[in-house]
Amino acid sequence: MQIRPRRSVLYMPGSNPRALAKAQQLAADCLIFDMEDAVAPAAKAQAREIIKTAIQQGDYGRREIVVRVNALDTEWGEADLKAMAHSGAHAICLPKVESAAEVAEALAILDRAQAPASLYLWVMAETPRGVLNIEEVCSASERVTVLMMGTSDLSKELRLRNRDDRQGLLASLNLCVLAARANNLDIIDGVQLDLNNEQAYQHSCEQGRDLGFDGKSVIHPKQLAYANQMFAPSATDVEWAHKVIAAWQQAEQAGEALVLLDGRLIENLHVEEARRTLSIAAAIEH
Ligand SMILES: CC(C)(COP(=O)(O)OP(=O)(O)OC[C@H]1O[C@@H](n2cnc3c(N)ncnc32)[C@H](O)[C@@H]1OP(=O)(O)O)[C@@H](O)C(=O)NCCC(=O)NCCSC(=O)C[C@H](O)C(=O)O
Ligand SMILES: [Mg+2]
């Protein structure tokens, strides 16, 4: 599978051409052109046109282009999918998914619109039922490549208090990481809405990284740099990965099955980890 950095995933209101243009210069790995919560009902139809024009005429370089459509049980969902079938986006993001049947329904609409098979799906876990059914959602199709946490909706549905340590979300976050990994998907952590609470934002990035997330969704350009730093291998990680691989190769040549490196036992799993670290670092450099 191709490794793609997805350290930072920036939401942009699809009805805001200035933000969509600005994103061409922003250091985001992935861009979400939003038609759902960031767009008022009266602006939904216009947002479709603004997004199509931006994707087709803009220069977004190697950033991954994702369009978040409205849910299929809304009056806009089906038309959004049809409109985006040939937009040039890399993926469609489906909000509030709760079942494999919803994934199949979205794919059927895209197939009828003759969307390219390379148009992938990102699915969002943001309701209690969606989280409980996350395994069936993640395994619904090989075209599902990324799982996104919708922690704002989920917090509301769970009636959580807004705490910097996200205690009430931990079970859901853990369960979703398990489902993503079991199905070989990348998983992106949810947003921090308070743009003035930098401490909470930084804590949530570090926490997300340590829980196994591949990146962070963000709502403002000023949140990008920290996410990019937190979800990239550090210089120390890269140095250690090189040492692990070199030590393992030396041991193999000497016909030894065990390697001790700086007092730590190295096994094949660490070599696989090290190779992944180097692949991600190379993909970020590229
Ligand atoms: C939150 C904002 C409305 C703030 O916008 P604004 O007041 O314009 O901010 P600034 O003046 O500080 O902006 C400085 C410049 O940066 C550009 N900008 C701002 N935000 C973005 C962005 N998201 N993408 C691209 N560019 C952006 C401004 O245009 C300024 O540029 P310039 O004029 O050239 O100086 C705004 O940040 C915003 O709309 N953010 C996105 C909100 C959004 O998409 N929300 C929906 C997704 S989150 C969600 O749904 C949660 C999920 O579903 C869940 O349940 O958890
Ligand atoms: Mg949401």
Kindly report, residue by residue over 219-253, the tens digit of the pLDDT: 999 999 999 999 999 999 999 999 999 999 999 99
Name the residue with the closest Cα to ligand 1, atom 11: 220
Is there a single domain that holds both residue 88 and residue 158? yes
Reported ipTM: 0.99
Over residues 47-71, the pLDDT tens digits come to 999 999 999 999 999 999 999 999 9
**Considering the domain boundaries, does residue 2 fall inside one?**
no
Over residues 112-135, the pLDDT tens digits come to 999 999 999 999 999 999 999 999
Is there a single domain that holds both residue 108 and residue 39? yes
Q: Is 62 a pocket residue for ligand 1 (Cβ < 6 Å)?
A: no
Is there a single domain that holds both residue 14 and residue 139? yes
Domain end (from 230, 255, 275) = 230
pLDDT at 106: 98
Is there a single domain that holds both residue 14 and residue 119? yes
pLDDT beyond 90 at 2: no
Q: How confident is the model at residue 286 (pLDDT cuts 50, 70, 90)?
A: confident
Residues contributing to the annotated binding site for substrate: 68, 126
Is there a single domain that holds both residue 137 and residue 259? no
Is there a single domain that holds both residue 197 and residue 256? no
Tell me what the mean pLDDT of segment 100-107 comes to.
Answer: 98
3 state SS of 208: helix
CA dihedral 65, 18, 154, 64 (to 10 degrees): 10
**Considering the domain boundaries, does residue 135 fall inside one?**
yes
Domain end (from 230, 250, 267) = 230
Is there a single domain that holds both residue 256 and residue 124? no
Alpha-carbon distance 12 to 269, whole Å? 39
pLDDT beyond 70 at 86: yes
Cα distances (Å, whole numbers) of residue 22 to 12, 52, 141, 160: 10, 16, 33, 34
Residue whose CB lies within 8 A of the most ligand 1 atoms, among 173, 188, 220, 224, for a mutation test: 220
**Considering the domain boundaries, does residue 3 fall inside one?**
no
**Considering the domain boundaries, does residue 163 fall inside one?**
yes
Looking at the CA of 191, name the nearest ligand.
1
The structure's pTM equals: 0.97
> Can you give the residue range of the structural domain that contains 109?
8-230
Q: How many domains does the chain have?
A: 2
Q: Is 37 a pocket residue for ligand 1 (Cβ < 6 Å)?
A: yes
pLDDT beyond 70 at 1: no
Q: How confident is the model at residue 258 (pLDDT cuts 50, 70, 90)?
A: confident
Domain end (from 188, 213, 230) = 230
Distance 30 CA to ligand 2 centre (A): 17
Cβ atoms of residues 77 and 110 within 8 Å: no
Cβ atoms of residues 154 and 127 within 8 Å: yes
CA dihedral 171, 177, 179, 181 (to 10 degrees): -160
Task: Report the Cα 147 to chain-centroid distance in Å.
Answer: 6
Is there a single domain that holds both residue 134 and residue 273? no
**Considering the domain boundaries, does residue 256 fall inside one?**
yes
Over residues 140-162, the pLDDT tens digits come to 999 999 999 999 999 999 999 99
